[in-house]
Structure 1
């Protein structure tokens, strides 16, 4: 069977009065430079940073992913999707407080739409542009295998991406390139980072390729990725606001989802 890319659908149809439809969707970075070292007179160029490959480089990059994942951050994603579709949007994630907020715009295909989502612990709120109320769903009442659950352990996909890494090369103090498993075992869709929804099916899948940049504090700022099966998909996710308050609060105007979502 030839490997193919499939866009996974959550069927997130939450309704207070009007249902909202959500489709859950599945990168080269600018090179960093070494800082100048002062001698007290004229500035001197810092010595070149030796390239790292193999286990050492992969652990350095995984440490940057963990540091990013464990603190509050903002993100933006711009990505192709299968069948000439696209997704673009922004979000904020606070793992420690279990808070997530995002706004994603899906274009192309049969169902172009924009969906706003806000999650605080087990409380999920969604809203379409133009609606005055957010629709509330209590995830604590959902069955364990419910498609309406949002996994706050790794909603952006950074932990899954870290586990999928195959080869990593550190080409500079803040730049990395490498490959990753496009379809790692026992892993749900995790790409594009920030809007996970692409699944790779079939045999003969090749490794995905990525490039990434970190800041001076060792936190990820950009990940560019590319996956290939029956078509090639490129995606870019940027990260900012590391460690700053998320500002996520409960919406003021809400309505309850229909009871059948809990069946």
Structure 2
């Protein structure tokens, strides 16, 4: 059988910019042996994958903060933080990529249809009207349905086992359909093509919110990549405001 070719390409996009009650008292009864030949009713098999998917969807639909740390192809490393409130349509992220040939950094704030980006901590903010952006714009497009890649990651899960009260392990398909990056969760910058099914470890807190998502990727060249996304403050009010002093983007920005 021919082995699939494996390719991991790095893409740094401009987006960096019940108990039932009973009445009466029953007479106590003695325990009786089961009748010969009687078969026990099997317990229903737990739907572990459905359980994990429900937890991921619940976290994706609630306001939360996230932190991303890990390795990227070609010896680069990624570090990022952000917050996402899908109900109020507010999103912010700051991501830096270090090492390798192309280090970069950037921040982005999106409120409704207004996007603000800057390329460094000391740079000025630039405002872009998302209503004017074409859906296939390679850098400035923004998908409110899945800005962190969590939704797409959830759909990519192939198998799951529960390995602890709050721990799930399994495999997912990291292929980027349509060459759209969805990894790392929280800072999608990797386009993965032809990569085999890869392992993940996901933990939840005592309230069922997603705590962390750790994935391992195996490029055809170079060492294994481990990337971890941690999530917190689920359902809490997040302060994501319009940055002061933003300047308007040049008209050429809107041309794809």
Q: Same fold (TM over 0.5)?
A: yes
TM-score (normalised: structure 2): 0.81
Q: How do residues 113-152 of structure 1 correspond to structure 2 at under 5 angstroms? A: 113-127=104-118, 128-131=120-123, 133-147=124-138, 148-152=140-144
CA distance in 1 between partners of 2:54 and 2:80 (Å): 26
TM-score (normalised: structure 1): 0.79
The alignment status of 1:235 with 2:238, answered yes or no, reads: no
The alignment status of 1:244 with 2:236, answered yes or no, reads: yes
Alpha-carbon shift at residue 186 of structure 1 (Å): 5.0
Maintained 8 Å contact 1:164/1:184: no
Q: Which runs of 5+ in 2 are unaligned?
A: 18-44
Q: Is the alpha carbon distance of 1:225 and 1:102 closer, same or farther for their aligned partners in structure 2, counting shifts above 3 Å? A: same
Deviates more, 1:205-214 or 1:69-78: 205-214
Larger radius of gyration: 2
Deviates more, 1:234-243 or 1:113-122: 113-122
CA root-mean-square deviation: 1.8
Maintained 8 Å contact 1:160/1:187: no
User: Once superposed, which parts of structure 1, at least 4 consecutive aligned residues long, lie more than 3 Å away?
Assistant: 184-187
The alignment status of 1:8 with 2:3, answered yes or no, reads: no
The alignment status of 1:217 with 2:207, answered yes or no, reads: yes
Aligned length: 221
CA distance in 2 between partners of 1:207 and 1:6 (Å): 16
Structure of greater relative contact order (alpha carbons < 8 Å, 6+ residues apart):
1
Q: Which runs of 5+ in 1 are unaligned?
A: 13-21, 24-53
Alpha-carbon shift at residue 190 of structure 1 (Å): 0.7
Question: 2:216 aligns to what?
Answer: 226
Render the CA deviation track for 1:110-158: whole Å, top value 9, x for unaligned: 3323211111111111122112x31101111011211211212111111
